[in-house]
Each structure stands twice: as C-alpha cells, then as structure tokens.
Amino acid sequence: MNILALLLILQQDVEHAVTRIADGLDPFAVTFMLVSMGAVTALMVWCFARILRGRSHFDPDGTGPAKPPIPGRVERKGKTDEL
Amino acid sequence: MSVETTDRHAREYWGTRVGLILAMAGNAVGLGNFLRFPVQAAQNGGGTFMIPYFIAFVLLGIPLMWMEWGIGRYGGRFGHGTLPGMFDRMWRNRAAKYIGVIGIIMPLVVLTYYTVIIGWLLAFAVFSLTGGYFFPDLTVAAAATEVSAYLSSLQDIRDTSLHGGWVGFAFYAITIALITWVVSRGIRGGIEKLALFAVPTLFVMAIFLMIRVLTLPATELGSPVEGLAFIWTPEWAALGDPTVWLAAAGQVFFTLSLGIGTLHTYASFLSKEDDITLTGLATASTNEFAEVVLGGTIAIPAAVTFFGVAGLATVAGTFDLGIVAMAVVFQSLPGPEIWGRLAGFTWFFLLFLAGITSSVALASPAMAFMQEEFGFRRTNVALGVGGLALFLGLLNVVWYEGGFLDEWDYWAGTFGLVVLAFIEIWIIRLAFGADAFWKELHSGADLLISRFFLFVMKWVTPLFVTGILVWWGWEQAIPTLLMDGVAPEEIGTRWFARLTLVALLLAGIVLIRTAWRRNPEQHAPVDRPRTVRAGGGDR
C-alpha cells in the first residue's frame, strides 16, 4: 500500500541514487545483502524444522488441532515455572 | 480454574498447523513485500536500512505479532472472533467493545480498495497470456507510455479508449466473487485450502522469477547487479536520521499485517492448548523471507536492467513499478515472445495470489462478527460482506481520479494500523496485565520465549508504538487532515470519502450495541484474567 507515495519519493531521489551506486555492488552491499537474506532464511528454516519435528503434538491423526493430545513442548519439559 | 469458555467446537477451527501458518503468512505477504520493501530500502540507506529494519522487527514486529495472536486466541475462548468481544473480555470497561469497532470496519474498508487493485493484477495476468499489452515494435520508453495508457484505461471506467468500460469492472467483480466464494466455504474448507494452494504456488513463482531476473543479461541502461546495488549499497549517514528508523518501523508494521484485526480473527480459531509462540514466529519469518529474499530480488533489479536507475524513476503514471515497468520488462526479455508472456503471467498472477490471500483475511473479521454476534449463516454473511464490498469498492472505482482510494488508504490502511496497535498494546499493558498476558501467551507453547521479550513487551514496544503514533500524527495525519497539497478539485471527493468512513464506523458501533443488548448472556462478565496471574492460569 501507499505505492504512489513511494514512487514520488523515488522520483525525487534519482540523481542521488545514480551517484550512490556508481561503484556497483561493493563488498559492503554484498555483505548486507547476504547477511540479511541469510538471517531471515535461517530463521524460517529453524521455525519450520522445529514445527515439523513436533508434528505429533499438533495433528497426529489429521483431525486438526481441536484438542492436541499432548501438551506443548514448554509444558512437557517442565519449563512453566520459568514463566 | 473457572474461566468459562464457549464450547469451541461450536466454532470453526484450523485443520492443520501448516495450513494455519500458510494462511497467516498469506495474510501478511502482499504487494508491499514485492514493491514497497525494495523501494523503502533503496530510499533509506540501502544496506544500512536493514539495521533499523531488523531492530524494529525484533522490538516491534515479533512482539506485536505474538500480542495479536494472544489477544485473538484469548477472545476465541469466549466465542469472540473480533476485537469488540476480545477487548470487552480483556478490559471490563463499557467503552472497550466500541473501541474494537475499528478492528471490523478498517479491514472491510481496506478490502474494498485492495480488491480493486488486485482486480487490475488479475486483468494484467490475463493480458499477459493474450499479449494485450505487448508492443514488440516500440522502444522501451515508448512501450512504457503505451502500457501506462493501457493501465489508465483499465483503471478509469469512463476511459474506453483501449478497453470497454466494463473490463475493469468485470475483473473487479470476478475478484470479489472469488473472495466471497472462499470465505463462504469457511476457515477449514475455504481459507485454509486457498492458503495451502496459493502460498506455496506464490513462493515457487517468485523463486522462478528471481532466478530469471538475476540471470538477465545487462543492457546499455543497466543490469540486475546495478538493481541490487540500488537496493543494498549502504549509506552510513542514514543511521543518524530518525526518519530512516521510522521508515524501517513502518515497513515492519505494514509487512506483518499488524494493527488491522485480521491476525486476531485467524488466531481466535485456536484452542488454548495450541501453540502460538513458535507458530507466530514461523509466520513472521515466512513473511520476512518473502520480503527480504524474494521481494528484494525481482522488481527493482528487473526494472533497473531495462530502464536504468534514472529511467526507473521517470516512468509516467501510477503503480509504475509493479505494473507498467514490469509489463515493459516482460516484453523486452530476450528470446521468443511466448516466454515473456509466461513470465508476465507469472509475475501478475503471483501478485494476484498475494493479494487474494490477504483479501480473504480482510473479509474474515466482518464475517466472524456477523456469524457469532447475530447467528447468521456463513453463506448468507459471505454474500452480504461480498455485496457490501462490491458496493463500497465501486465508490473507489467511480471516484478513483478524485482521490477517494488514497483517502481511505491513508486513514484505514496506514494511520489506522498504528492507532489500533496503540490501543491494543495499552489494553494489554494497563488493563489485562503484561505478566498475565505472558502466561496466556505460553499456554500450549512449543517455544519458551526469552524473558528479554517480556521486558520488551512491557516497555519497549509500547513506547515504540506510542512514538510512531505521535510522530506520524504530527508529521502526516494533521497535514493530511487539513488537506495540505491536495488539488482543489479533489477536496469534495476526499471529504465524501471521510464522511463515508465515519458513517461506516457509526454503523459498526450501532451493530455492536445491538449485539450486546440482544445477547447479554454471551457478554456477561466472567472471572477476570487475574486468575491467570494468581493461580498460574487455567491450564
């Protein structure tokens, strides 16, 4: 949303942008790009790996999460006292 | 523990956890991931933008995401799928339920103009296959002018120069019909099935386009690498600019669909035994992947390759980057035209899928409210919501040139988000209690959240959101309210848009009052959530 406003900003800043990228994709830019992409990818993979490992907790018989048969990982590991 | 809850089996519920995550991610992933993010990054310090962006993601995005899931699931235990009922349960104040009206009306308003936009995207997906906007004999600049006129003719129903006036309306009506059909099938049979198809398809399409864009040969105007440089080249001075930090916070806010009421409704279809900590984090991270990895590597690198950085900024018209510039890119691709048409279809259809999954979420609060509070049948409510959205959307179509859509977009789709987040965060903080909410959040949890986030939720996020509200209120809302810089011929239409918005809010308040009077037992007070705090919850 608000794409119109963004395009206006883009138009105002064009000369600055041309100057800014005159040296192409420098090592700092590559670093920021790879670290940013790597971080969000790693977070997503970690979340889904953890979810898929715990599948039996959630939906063992395909009937949905109306009543999970066993408690969540936090309770199973006795960590509720830490709350 | 004696908190009485409605028999949740009387309500719908999600079929699978992956379905829930994909539906939530589908709700969050939208046009902003592919168009707004790269432009924001490029204009706010390039690579250095990611520093405030990730800080805002951790201090604002993730905590608010958990809070909205928590509010939604808590309300669902009492049979409430919308904010009036949720706020009423969390804050025993007569005003609470009326404040919640914005969680029903705002998504409905955004739905009406969002479907207009995704109707254009569906049209361009079809035009890609038919080659309607392909002008193979023209230069890039001339083709951009032609595509811009092609889009304008579609947007303005009075402009019949390139399309019949009915074409834009037909695609809009098809979009509304599709949304109505999906929501009429319910949570499990409609929204979840759509998400299970649309979100993976969207990701596959985006990865395909990303590979295609990054392997494009350089032209005399630019290259994909220059496009990446445009987005990621760091500007260290930007870190000292508070507007950059606010822009990063705003981007995190918009991209996660926070502050609009849809996450609450989706989360209300969970039981208190279901995990929301890990699932909420998975949803946020999926959205971030779509934004940072996919959104950052398609539109701008492709457009810079064929227009150059200077040319990208001078393409005329509206929705240039997403529609006009990309349409020209696809007809300029090397190789047979059919590959360009398929790539064009892929792009516009993926944006359409991103939009449609968000749209069904936007329709959900109004659906849930009418079903739960008035006992109407789902199919009838779906037809009613679809019909109302069609009617209200027509206002956007007919008065598009007068700024009607912009006005609604600002008050409901931009400033309204921060207002709602501000309200909910202080209700948690002052009325419900941060510690009680922390325990509520961990009911059924698969992930024990670090206590660092308890501090963040208590102090940092509330102050962050309050700061954004004050800053935007002063910098943007007041000038917008006073119509600074608005063309005189648009003022009448914009006032009409505002009055319509106020009328909708008042109608919502009347409905809430009627619902509470009609069914006092359902809204009678029960044990306060303090029992959760004192007794360790109702686990």
Going by pLDDT thresholds of 50, 70 and 90, the confidence category of residue A11 is low
Q: What is the pLDDT of residues B381-419, one digit of tens each?
A: 999 999 999 999 989 888 888 899 999 999 998 899 999
Q: Which residues of A are less than 8 Å from B14 in CB distance?
A: 64-65
Please give the residue of chain B at the shortest CA–CA distance from A58: B17
Residue B535 forms part of a structural domain: no
Is the pLDDT score of B426 beyond 90? Answer: yes
Output b/e per residue, A18-40; b: 16+ Cβ within 10 A. Answer: eebbeeebeeebbebbeebbebb
Interface of B with A in 359-398 (CB under 8 A): none
Rounded Cα distance between B92 and B32, Å, is 36
Q: Are B93 and B431 in contact (CB under 8 A)?
A: yes
Compute CA B157 distance to the chain's CA centroid, rounded to the nearest angstrom.
26
Start-end of H helices in B191-290: 192-214, 224-232, 242-255, 262-267, 277-288
Whether residue A81 has pLDDT greater than 80: no
Token output for B101: 């009206």
Distance from the Cα of A61 to chain B's closest Cα (Å) equals 10
Which pair of structure tokens corresponds to residue A17? 């942008």
Residues shown for chain B: 539
Q: In A, which residues are within 8 Å of B32 by CB distance?
A: 1
Q: State the helix-helix crossing angle for B378-398 and B337-374, rounded to 10 degrees.
A: 120
Q: Which of B115, B233, B226 is CA-nearest to residue B176?
A: B115
Higher-pLDDT residue of B502 and B526 is B502
Please give the Cα distance from B78 to B146 (Å, whole number): 55
A70-74, B231-235, B415-419, range with greatest mean pLDDT: B415-419
- Domain assignment present for residue B3? The answer is no
- Which of A 21-80 lie inside 8 A of B, CB atoms? 21, 23-26, 28-33, 35-37, 39-41, 43-44, 46-48, 50-51, 54-55, 57-59, 62, 64-68, 71-75, 79-80
B43 with A6: Cβ contact below 8 A: yes
User: Between residues B161 and B132, which one has the greater pLDDT?
Assistant: B132
CATH classification at residue B356: 1.20.1740
B531 has a pLDDT exceeding 80: no
Instruction: Please name the residues between 338 and 357 in chain B that touch chain A, using a CB distance below 8 Å.
Output: none
Question: For residue B301, is it within any domain?
Answer: yes
- Inter-chain CB proximity A41 and B289 less than 8 Å: yes
**Residue B278 located in a structural domain:** yes
Task: Give which of A1, A15, A30 to mutate to test B binding, by max B Cβ within 10 Å.
Answer: A1
Distance from CA of B85 to the nearest CA of A (A): 21
The phi and psi torsions of B287 (rounded to 5 degrees) equal -65, -40
- In the predicted model, is pLDDT for residue B538 greater than 80? no
> Is the pLDDT at B316 greater than 50, yes or no?
no
**pLDDT computed for residue A2 by the predictor:** 45
CA distance A27 to chain B (A): 9
Question: Residues in chain A, how many?
Answer: 83
Chains A, B: CB pairs < 8 Å: 210
Top pLDDT among B268 and A65 is at B268
Q: Domains in chain B: how many in total?
A: 1
Query: What residue has token string 């959630």?
Result: A58
d(CA A70, CA A57): 6
In angstroms, the CA B405 to CA B247 distance is: 22
Task: Kindly compute the dihedral angle of the four CA atoms of residues B514, B520, B523, B525, in this order, to the nearest 10 degrees.
Answer: 140
Contact by Cβ (8 Å): B154, B168: yes
Which one of B17, B414, B439 has the shortest CB-CB distance to A58? Answer: B17
- State the CB neighbour count (10 A cutoff) for residue B476: 15
Task: Tell me, yes or no, whether B373 lies in a domain.
Answer: yes
User: Span B12-21, mean pLDDT?
Assistant: 84
d(CA B63, CA B463): 13
For residue B12, being part of any structural domain is answered with: no
Q: Give A19→chain B minimum CA distance, Å.
A: 10
Question: What average pLDDT does this structure show over B285-303?
Answer: 93
Question: CB neighbours (10 Å) of residue B311?
Answer: 18
How high is the ipTM of this complex? 0.89
List the one residue out of B287, B288, B319 whose CA is nearest residue B303.
Answer: B319
Q: For residue B300, is it within any domain?
A: yes
Distance of alpha carbon A8 from alpha carbon B143, whole angstroms? 21
CA distance B48 to B240: 11
Compute CA distances B488 → A37, A49, B491, B494, whole Å: 45, 56, 5, 10
Chain B residues within 8 A of A27 when measuring between CB atoms? none
Residue range B331-378, pLDDT digits in tens = 999 999 999 999 999 999 999 999 999 999 999 999 999 999 999 999
Whether B238 maps to a domain, the answer reads yes
B77, B8 contact by CB (below 8 A): yes
Separation CA B137–CA B322 (nearest Å) = 22
**Which residues of chain A neighbour B286 with C-beta distances below 8 Å?**
44, 47
Q: Which of B273, B414, B443 to mutate to test the interface with A (most CBs of A within 10 A)?
A: B273
B278, A58 Cβ separation under 8 angstroms: no
Q: How many CB atoms lie within 10 A of CB B236?
A: 12
- As given in the structure block, the two tokens for residue B112 are 């009406």
What's the domain range around B426? 17-523
Q: How confident is the model at residue A16 (pLDDT cuts 50, 70, 90)?
A: low
Q: Answer yes or no: are the C-beta atoms of B423 and B411 closer than 8 Å.
A: no
Q: Cβ contact (<8 Å) for B313 and A14? A: yes
B270 in A contact zone (CB under 8 Å): yes
Tokens of B404: 């009607």
Contact B151, B323 (CB under 8 A): yes
Given CB atoms, is A14 within the 8 Å cutoff of chain B?
yes
DSSP reduced 3-state for A55: helix
Cα distance between residue B171 and residue B306, in whole Å: 29
Mean pLDDT along residues B17-37: 89
Among residues B119, B131, B108, the alpha carbon closest in space to that of B166 is found at B119
Tell me if residue B98 falls in helix, strand or coil. helix
Please tell me the distance from the alpha carbon of residue B74 to that of residue B267, in angstroms, as a whole number.
9
Q: What is d(CA B343, CA B206) in angstroms, rounded to the nearest whole number?
A: 10
CB contact under 8 A, A65 and B413: no
Chain B residue with minimum CA distance to A63: B15
Q: Residues B202, B23: contact at Cβ < 8 Å?
A: no
The DSSP call for residue B375 is: -
Question: In angstroms, how far is the first alpha carbon of chain A from the final one?
Answer: 39
Which residue did the predictor score with more confidence, B269 or A54? B269
CA A32 remoteness from chain centre? 16
